[in-house]
Structure 1
Amino acid sequence: MSRRVDIAVVVGTGVPAELRAAGQQICWVGLLDGEQSGDIFQRRSDAEAWRSGQLPPAARHKSGLTA
C-alpha cells in the first residue's frame, strides 16, 4: 500500500519558536497520510524535494510545532 505524501504551509505562531526568533514567519511541514511526519522545512523547495524523495539531508529542521 502506498502512502500519501503532502506538504502543508505553516505561518505565524505555528512556526517553531526558534525559527520565529530567527525572523522566519513561514515554514513547510511534511505530511504522511495526513499526519505530520516531524519534518519541518524553512524553504518550500526543500519541502518539495522531500515530497519527491530527493531531499538533501542538511535541509531538514527537526523540531515540534508550537501551538
Structure 2
Amino acid sequence: MTNQVDVAVMIGSGVPKSLRALGQKACWVVLVNGEQRGTAFSSRVEAEECRTAWLAQLGANLGTRQEHAQRAS
C-alpha cells in the first residue's frame, strides 16, 4: 500500500485559536492519505520535518510488513 504524505497550509479561520491568539494568520499541517495527523505548525519548516518523520515511519512499517510476507511464503 502506498501512502501519500503532504503538507498543507491553512489560512484565516482554519488556523487554530491558540495560534491566532499569537497573531498567526496561517499554519501548516501534515496530511497522511488526506487526513490531518498531529498538530498545526506555525512554520512550514516544522511541518516538513514532521512530514519527513511520517515518511520514515511509514517506510519502516512497509519494510516490516514485507519481511513478514517473505518469511510466510
Q: State the TM-score, normalizing by the size of structure 2.
A: 0.66
State the partner residue of 1:50: 50
Aligned Cα root-mean-square deviation (Å):
1.5
State the partner residue of 1:36: 36
Larger Rg: 2
Q: State the TM-score, normalizing by the size of structure 1.
A: 0.71
Structure with more of its chain in helix, by fraction = 2
Gaps of 5+ in 1: 55-67
State the partner residue of 1:13: 13
Gaps of 5+ in 2: 55-73
Aligned residues: 54
CA deviation map 1:37-56 (0-9, x unaligned): 133111100111111118xx
Q: Which amino acid aligns with 1:52?
A: T
Structure 1 outlier segments of 4+, above 3 Å: none
Higher relative contact order (CA 8 A, sep 6+): 1
